[in-house]
Amino acid sequence: MFDLSPDHQQIRDLARDYARQKIAPGATERDNSHRFPAEIVKELAEMGFLGMFVPTEYGGAGLDILAYVLALEEVCYADAGVGVIMSVQNSLAGWPILAFGTEEQKHKYLTPLATGEKIGCYALTEPDAGSDAGSQKTKVTVDGNGDYVLNGTKMWITNGPQAGIIVTYANLEPEQRHRGVCAFIVEKEYPGYRVGKIEEKMGIACSSTSELVFEDLRVPKENLLHDERKGFNVAMATLDGGRIGIAAQALGIAQRALDLSISHARTRRTFGKPIADHQAIQWKIADMASRIESARLLTWKAAVLKSNPNLGKEASYACSMAKLMASETANFCAYEAVQIFGGYGYSREYEVERLYRDARITTLYEGTSEIQRLVIAKSLLG
């Protein structure tokens, strides 16, 4: 149960070698410049990491979700900003098209996503619809040809400035809340689509985040994803997979914080001995390692369950639990790493300062920790 297959080990090792040799060395520069890592994204696509669980007939690698989680953790160990680009491309842009799209939609959109020809994004959040995703105010009407016209604004959209393929949502009857929500596949070339404000964020700086503005955005009827008024189902199922991705991202951050803390504790000396000899530091290291192992096992379990289409409710519960535990573990480990480094940890010269900032988002996007607790509690209480 606890051993990875040779294939999974090979994927993890491939991702680890690439991430530590090619991604990690430029992480600080990207954090300072906020530069989108276009060349790295291209190389990730060439390695098959942008369509990991997309079947080969649609241009993907045809792997399972556990392989994706293993690779993503290694990428995020090197740079969580690069990792979230990979996560959105797989979990939020590719998965809903794979799960709910027509054959025509799969062939048209999954291949450019998997090969990196186009960047994807997931546009759900609005100014008044974050955790309450059913309160979509973006309005959709149907014209005389059966095509759709969208009006509204989305916000906090990861990959928004670069995205060429957008999975988004709008409401036929906003007063009906989630019962009127529809899902769509949008191309950035469609008339009425534009990128709005680009956000300045606390962390994951090389990952761009923006508003998307729809002004009489015209979407062909064949780009409806799933059925009319079934968009909320698409959104919730997609977020389960997205939560696995964020759990993997959080694990990468947490593991890096632990490894840096161990290295620093062995070399930093106080009171005539390495701080690793002080019990206070030993307990911090032990707590960090124990939480990471627990969160990793939950994440692997969620990945296996999500790969089975017959385990919807059980998978949703597991995805929320993995995301909750991994994201809070990342924040705990980043905090303790800064504490172990002391004053050095507060300096931008040291990597743990970036990890502290990067970790913070993991308890917010793809559903806050509070939302995860609600999902878990409802699963238990009915």
Looking at the DSSP bridge assignments, the partners of residue 225 are 183
Is the CB of residue 15 less than 8 Å from the CB of residue 49? yes
Is the CB of residue 41 less than 8 Å from the CB of residue 116? yes
Is the CB of residue 371 less than 8 Å from the CB of residue 294? no
Please compute, for residue 242, the number of CA atoms within 13 A of its CA located in the half-sphere on the CB side. Answer: 27
Looking at the DSSP bridge assignments, the partners of residue 167 are 122, 185
Alpha-carbon distances of 208 from 145, 158, 205, rounded to whole Å: 36, 6, 7
The span from the CA of 165 to the CA of 106, in Å, is 12
Residue whose C-alpha is closest to residue 187's, from 120, 139, 235, 234: 120
The single residue of 126, 211, 353, 366 carrying the catalytic annotation is 366
The span from the CA of 364 to the CA of 246, in Å, is 10
SS3 for 84-139 is HHHHHHHHHHHHHHHHHCCHHHHHHHHHHHHCCCCEEEEECCECCECCCCCCCCCE
Task: Look up 366 and say whether it is catalytic.
Answer: yes
Is the CB of residue 216 less than 8 Å from the CB of residue 151? yes
What is the set of active-site residues? 366
